[in-house]
Structure 1
């Protein structure tokens, strides 16, 4: 049996982190088994769906690197699809759904009531053989006991989720449905529809929910609930993919940092955990920092330059070797690429502004002659590398009878405008002799 799975989001606002993880689990399962991953946009509710929301979904999947394998051929297809496939849109498949409704009506499985069409639901308990949860016996609730039948076409003629979901799974030959545990109540209805159509249902795997750290359900207002948060705050998509895998899945050897190739090789449903996962934003930040530290240079430069450009910093005005050398001093110092504009922005501007409190503390009359002496010592150097700069500063500090920090702090402020940042001696080497002397001159002028 060739594995065929799908991700079927509703474009109603944003891509929830739970939805992103569902897409990821489906994608990994398909890639692990050499199967197909299908993207299907459930947009039958025209009043709630927007084109912008569709774009958010496609952009999010593209950012995560989740490509889909088939769909309608279209010259306008966008996103990480294979070939020129766009996603399936349910709004374009209405005739197929209505044909199936007629089949149900003719077979006596559905009936019209108050302008709508309802499906005749079995009064017996439904058994769900779930690949993650195990066997589930779904009894009718007290409310369903009174009327277990459910609407499949609204009075306005629009087919509803339960119907289109099942029809699409039949037409697209879906073999496995991997979705959140909150869909279990829907699955009994869907199994009944499959039986009514005379079709063997796919295998179901309901994955655990993602909760906040305190155990509460994650709402769209909670930090980290929207995938766009990670795109905006400078996370590496590969780190987010890695972390999302660990929310409800375990490789069984306590490993946490894994490449995409390793995840594909190791991911399967038997390792999906039964209990709900708790989202830890700080752990994700830590993992992102680990990814940055281990990242291949070209990938690091790509994401770093993008983050700087997003903040309005144009690195194209500087020689490429200079840009790379500047970014190299930051690689093991940041956890998020969004930190780079503040951390490294001084490399890419000639109009420094100083932190006010730091300037008041460091740019003092007492420090001026010391900084002037250091400026002259730097000016006399023929070799302007980190080791020489460090030795020069420490030698002068000894001559002045002060600790090195007395010179380090005003020098850092003069050359970066900040009190924290990359290693001082390495950043001075990258800035170069001419630029360092100019910045020291400007600081000395400010100090009077």
Structure 2
């Protein structure tokens, strides 16, 4: 093949219905390297498993990649000069390359299957696991020059199937053929594929092709660091984060840190900076532990950094679905409440609980908050003093409200903040939330005072 003048990497998933976080991270690292080098990111679909590969599964995969912002330069929906980009449509290409191996006496047929033929001295050895004698080959050791792990030497000891008796081509064969035919220059994949690489190099050499640069990235380990993360583990599927309204840029940022380290301890970074800094020398060799607390932290950082208009736009459908707001909710009020709540929100998933009481007059008083507020002092007395003091506030803004509360506290020989806990509990039923003065301003004078009076009446009756 002609030496390409640019970096060409590929992501070659099997669409089986789920977009696993390990697959997403592999796609991301390929995408990052392509963008870092100004190369091409190719999406190639390994869809030969007709029993498991469905149009719905493919759609879920593509949607997951789009959600993460991983745009591909060639592949499904994009086309390109090296298609088809579905393995199921490349059978003629595989047949052509298989014939090359047969013609070169590097493949042979046996019991209906076609085997790749290794070069070297052949001998027979008893395999206790298979309880049979098998033919082995003393081959020259294969040294894979891995961009992350350095030189890795392996031996391939037995011929292996490259086309099964049912006519299906084997993974090792089609993987290499596709990479040759598509001019792939760098193969960035999981560490679990490292054991396959010697076989792949054998096929490259037999076909007279130069192997690409290999870079085997570390496995993603479970939360406890014990064992590889699987599709059955909580938090392992990208669709979970879509359903939980995580910010896709935050999930992508987190995935960048699963095995790559910018070396200065920085974690939350814009994608442009990550692209600029990303390279193989920053990728670690040891397994990358999935840290759900770090993911939650990064998601919160991204959420709080959103422009308030974007935050409101993303929050509205979530609050609607949760029944917090409806078509009668005033847009100005919604914007005012969300604007002061953004800095307190941890995620969109918990936003309905955080702001729900601010949109309903029949909100529930948090019993723990109630217990805490009434634990000391005379909160009802403070509330009785505060209500008439706030009735005279005009204009209803934070500074004027604060001045009136301060004047009241001085008059009653109290501290200003003695009035804050009971005021917050009365207007929201909670002990925490947005800044109290901002909350009072956003609620509006009439609504805030009405809530305080109603709370005082209920407490007096209880």
Q: Give the 5 Å matches for 1:259-278.
A: 259-278=270-289
**Residue 359 of structure 2 corresponds to which residue in structure 1?**
348
Q: TM-score, normalised by structure 2?
A: 0.83
User: Is 2:191–2:218's contact at 8 Å kept on the other side of the alignment?
Assistant: yes
Task: Structure 2: give runs of 5+ residues left out of the alignment.
Answer: 120-136
What is the deviation of 1:395?
4.2
Q: Give the 5 Å matches for 1:409-420.
A: 409-420=421-432
User: Is 2:17–2:61's contact at 8 Å kept on the other side of the alignment?
Assistant: no
- Could you tell me which of 206, 212, 234 is aligned with 2:216? 206
Q: Does 1:60 align with 2:64?
A: yes
What is the deviation of 1:178?
0.5
Looking at structure 2, the residues matched to 352 and 196 of structure 1 have their Cα atoms a distance apart, in angstroms, of 73
For these two proteins, the number of residue pairs brought into alignment is: 433
**Residue 426 of structure 1 corresponds to which residue in structure 2?**
438
1:263-304 CA distances to partner (integer Å, 9 max, x unpaired)?
Answer: 111212232223322222212222233333333334433443
What is the deviation of 1:68?
0.6
What is the deviation of 1:381?
1.9
CA gap 1:281/1:7 in 2 versus in 1, 3 angstroms:
same
Looking at structure 1, the residues matched to 392 and 330 of structure 2 have their Cα atoms a distance apart, in angstroms, of 26
- Could you tell me which of 121, 141, 154 is aligned with 1:138? 154
**Residue 376 of structure 1 corresponds to which residue in structure 2?**
388
Looking at structure 2, the residues matched to 82 and 297 of structure 1 have their Cα atoms a distance apart, in angstroms, of 38
**Residue 240 of structure 2 corresponds to which residue in structure 1?**
229
Provide the alpha-carbon RMSD of the alignment.
3.0
**Residue 301 of structure 2 corresponds to which residue in structure 1?**
290
**Residue 169 of structure 2 corresponds to which residue in structure 1?**
159
Provide the secondary structure at the position in 2 that maps to 1:331: helix
Task: Structure 1: give runs of 5+ residues left out of the alignment.
Answer: none
1:228-252 CA distances to partner (integer Å, 9 max, x unpaired)?
Answer: 3333334322222222222222223
CA gap 1:355/1:129 in 2 versus in 1, 3 angstroms:
same
Looking at structure 1, the residues matched to 142 and 97 of structure 2 have their Cα atoms a distance apart, in angstroms, of 23
Looking at structure 2, the residues matched to 397 and 222 of structure 1 have their Cα atoms a distance apart, in angstroms, of 55
**Residue 73 of structure 2 corresponds to which residue in structure 1?**
69
Higher Rg of the two aligned structures: 2
**Residue 16 of structure 2 corresponds to which residue in structure 1?**
12
**Residue 176 of structure 1 corresponds to which residue in structure 2?**
186
Looking at structure 2, the residues matched to 86 and 394 of structure 1 have their Cα atoms a distance apart, in angstroms, of 73
Q: Give the 5 Å matches for 1:20-31.
A: 20-31=24-35
Looking at structure 2, the residues matched to 332 and 87 of structure 1 have their Cα atoms a distance apart, in angstroms, of 48
> Which range moved further: 172-181 or 193-202?
193-202
Q: Give the 5 Å matches for 1:382-401.
A: 382-397=394-409
Looking at structure 2, the residues matched to 408 and 82 of structure 1 have their Cα atoms a distance apart, in angstroms, of 62
